[in-house]
Chain A
Amino acid sequence: MSPLKHTLRGLLLSLWFAALTFPIMVIKVNPVEGTVTWRWQNALFVAGGVFFIYLLVQLALRHKAASKKAGASDDTGEQESFIHRILQDQKQKYLLGGILLAVAVAFPTFSSSYQTTVMTTALMYVVLGLGLNIVVGMAGLLDLGYVAFYAVGAYSYALLNHHFGLGFWAVLPIGGGLAALFGILLGFPVLRLRGDYLAIVTLGFGEIIRLILENWGEFSKGPSGISNIARPGLFGIELSLDSAIIYSYYLMVLFVIATIFIVNRLQDSRLGRAWIALREDEIACQAMGIDKRKTKLVAFSLGAFWAGIIGVVFAAKTTFINPASFTFLESAIILAIVVLGGMGSIVGVILAALILILLPEYLRELSQYRMLAFGAILVAMMVFRPQGLIASIRRTYKFEKPAPAGKPR
C-alpha cells in the first residue's frame, strides 16, 4: 500500500475509534444535579492516540517483513531465539544459571526490604506458574480454578497454626498434601470432560471453595479472615522483621530452585512424556497404552501440590489471610503467566511471572492506569506473540551423519 493509502486508513481508523468511544469518553452526566459535561478533548486524544498506534504497528510490521525477507535464506535463525541457543548449549546454560543464581543470592544485600518483599512475591508466582504449567502447559488441561488449591494451602496453615500452634515446616507438607488431595477430588468427577467444559467446572470449583471459606464462619472465621499467623521459623530462633523478610526470600529462592529441578526432571520422565502425548492427542495417547485416567489425576494433584505449598508460604508471609485474596482474577493472572511465558516452557514461565508481578508493582506511580495497561499488555502479547515469550522447544531428533571418532555425541 502507498503511504497515502496508509494515512487514509489510519485516519478512518481513528475516526471509527473516536465514534466508538464517544458516549463513554466524551459524555459525562450527573443525574442528580441534571448536568451534562461534554469532554470533546477526549475524542481528540482517542483519535490521535489511535492514529499514532496505527503508525507504530505499520512500522513494526514493515520492519518485520523486511527482516523476514533478509533472513529468508536461513530459516533456523528465525526459529531459534537467542535464549534458545543459550539453553541448547550445556556450558552456556550453566553459566547463565550461575549468574542468575548469584544475582538472586546477592539481591537482598543491595536492595531495601521492600524490594525483597516484592521479589519474594514474584518468586511465589514463579512457583505457582510452574505448578500450573504442569496442568495446563504439559498435560493440556485448562484449569481456571487453580487458586482454590492455593487457598487450601493457605487456610491449612492458618487454621492449624491458629488452633494447634503447628509451625510452618510441619504444615508445609500437610498443606501441599491436602491441596493434592483436593486436586484428586476435583480430578475424579471431571476426567470425562472435554477442554472447555473442564475450564468452567474448575472455575466453579474455585468459586465454591472461596464461597465456603466466606460463608462457613465457624470453620474459617469467614470474611474477617485469620490474622497473626506465625512467620516461618528457623530452628526456633526469633527473627526480627527485616531478617524474617530476608529469610522468606531465601526460602522462596530455594523453593524456586527445587521446583525448577523437579519440573525439569518430570518433563523428561515417562510421566512428562505421557502428559505431552495427552495434550497433543488424547486418543492416540490412549492407543499407545497410556493410562489416561491416572496420568490426568497425577497432573492435577501434582499441580495442586505446588499451589498448596505456596499457599502455606503466602499465609506465613502475609501473616493475615481472608477469602478475598483467592478470587478468579488470581487464577487468571497465574494462567496468564503460563500462557504468556509460552506453554510448557519453564524459562518462559519464570520470565513471565517476574514481568507480570513486578510490572504492576513498579507501575504504582501510574497506579490509576495500572490495570488498564495490564489488560492491554495481555492482549498485545497474545496478538503479536501468541506462542509466548519463550516458546517451549519441541524435542526434535535430527538425523546426523556419524560423528567423527573420538567425539561421541
Chain B
Amino acid sequence: MKLIQSGKMVAAMALMLTFSAPIPAMSGDTIKIGVAGAHSGDLATYGLPTVNAAKLVVDQVNAKGGIKGKKIELLIEDDVCKPEVATNSATKLVSQGAEVIIGHICSGPTKAALPIYKNANILVISPSSTSPDLTYSGEYPNFFRTIAPDDTQAKVDVEFALNKLGFTKIALVHDKGDYGKGLAEFAKSFIEKSGKAQVVLFEGVTPGAVDYSAIVQKIKQKDAQAVIFGGYHPEASKIVSMMKKKRMTTAFISDDGVKVDTFISVAGADAEGAYASGPMDTTKNPLSIQAKDEHKKAFGTDPGSFFENAYAATLALVNAIDKAGSTDLAALKKVLQTEKVDTPLGSISFNEKGDAIGVGFSVYQVKDGKFIELK
C-alpha cells in the first residue's frame, strides 16, 4: 500500500516540477519595494526605524505623483533577525512581486536571504548589515549598503588607539556575536600588522551573564592600557561600570553598537571618557536635520538606530529607479555606481562591490553625558 502511494508520489512530483515555471515578474501599476528586517521581538529597535524612513521618503515621492506616474507601494516583512525566518520573508516578498528590497537589518538574515533575491534578479540595499563578506566575497552582485563594513570601523578604532593615544598593550573583548567577534578579529589583525602594539587578551563575554567582574579583573591583571570592545551597548555599559567599580583607569574603546544614547543613559557617569566609533557626524547636514524633523512630525519621537542609513538607502534607490526608468537589476546597478545622490549621510555613490563611497567612521568620546566627535 505504502509503496504504491509513494510511487504515485514520485510521478506526481515529477509532473509538478515540469509544470511549475518560475513566477513571472509582476509589472503592475505600482512599484513594489520590499522592506525587510526585525520588526518585532527584542531587536525591533534596530529594524523599525528603517520602516519609518522608507515610509517618509516614499510618502514624499508619492505626494509628488510617484516615479514616472507610478506610485510606490511598500511591502513590509518581519524577519525577527533570524536567518531561517528571513528565507521565508524573502520568499514571500519575491512571490508578492517586490521589485527592490530595503533590508535586511542583521547580517545573518541578509546572508540567508540574498541567494533568493539574487535568483530573482532583485536589487537589495541594506542600511545596517555590516558583515564584510557581503560585499568582499563578490558572491552577491545584487547587494548594496549605505553603511561601512566592520573592518573599516576596526581600522578606525585601532588607528585611534595606536596613533592618537599611543597605547602599546591592548585587550580585545567581544560579545561572541557575529558583529562583535568579527570586529575584534579585524582589530587583532590590524594591531598585529602594525607591529606597534601587543594584544594581551582576546576573549568573549556571554551576553546576559549576571556578572562580568572576572573578565574585568583579567583585563586589569594583563595590564592592558586600553580595551577595544566589539559588541553592543548593554555589555559595554556593564564592562565600563565594573571597571569604574574596580577603580581602573584603562581606556575603553568601542564601536557603533555602543555609540548610541542608551549607552550613556544606562551606564550614567561610568560612561564618561569612553570612546566609541560611529558614523561620521551628520548633525550639520541640512538633509539630516530635515529627515529628523520629518520623523518627529510624523511619529512624534526621535528616530532610532540606522534611521539615516535607511533614509539614504531609500533616497538612493528612488533616484536610481527614476534615472534608470525601470527596476531592472543591471540598469539600477549602473545608476547607483555612477550617480551621486544627496542624502542625510552626505553625497554618496557606490563602488563596484556595493559599498557606499563617502560613508565612513569617526571616533567619539563621551563628555558631560554626550558623544563628542574627536577631530
Contacts and interface: CB of A to CB of B under 8 A. Distances in A.
Interface of A: 31-32, 94, 101, 105, 108-109, 112-114, 117-118, 121, 214-215, 217, 222-225, 227-228, 234, 240-243, 245-247, 250, 253-254, 257, 261, 314, 317-322, 324-325, 361, 364, 367-368, 370-371
Interface residues of B, number: 47
A364 B79 CA distance: 10
Nearest to A364: B78
B9 A228 contact: no
Given A320-B83, A361-B88, A113 B111 contact: no
Interface stretch (B114-122, B219-227, B272-280, B357-365): B114-122
Contacts of B139: 227-228
Nearest to B13: A250
A113 B94 contact: yes
B111 A320 contact: yes
B303 interface: no
B107 A121 contact: no
Contacts of B133: 224, 227
B112 A320 contact: yes
Contacts of B41: 371
A322 B178 contact: yes
B22 interface: yes
Given A242-B20, A261-B2, A254 B265 contact: no
14 contacts: A105-B9, A113-B94, A224-B131, A224-B181, A241-B119, A243-B20, A246-B17, A250-B13, A253-B9, A318-B87, A318-B112, A322-B178, A367-B78, A371-B41
Contacts of B233: none
A117 B88 CA distance: 6
Contacts of A319: 87, 112, 115
Nearest to A366: B40
Given A234-B17, A243-B20, A324-B82, 6 more contacts: A109-B19, A217-B185, A242-B21, A325-B83, A367-B78, A370-B40
A370 B87 CA distance: 19
Contact of B5 (A101, A112, A227, A234): A101
A241 B13 contact: no
B39 interface: yes
A113 B112 CA distance: 17
B2 A257 contact: yes
Interface in B334-375: none
B315 to A, nearest CB: 27
A225 B88 contact: no
B16 A250 contact: yes
A18 to B, nearest CB: 27
A113 B95 contact: yes
Contacts of A217: 181, 185
A374 B87 CA distance: 22
Nearest to A251: B13
The 8 closest A-B pairs by CB, nearest first: A320-B112, A114-B92, A367-B40, A241-B119, A112-B95, A227-B111, A223-B178, A32-B265
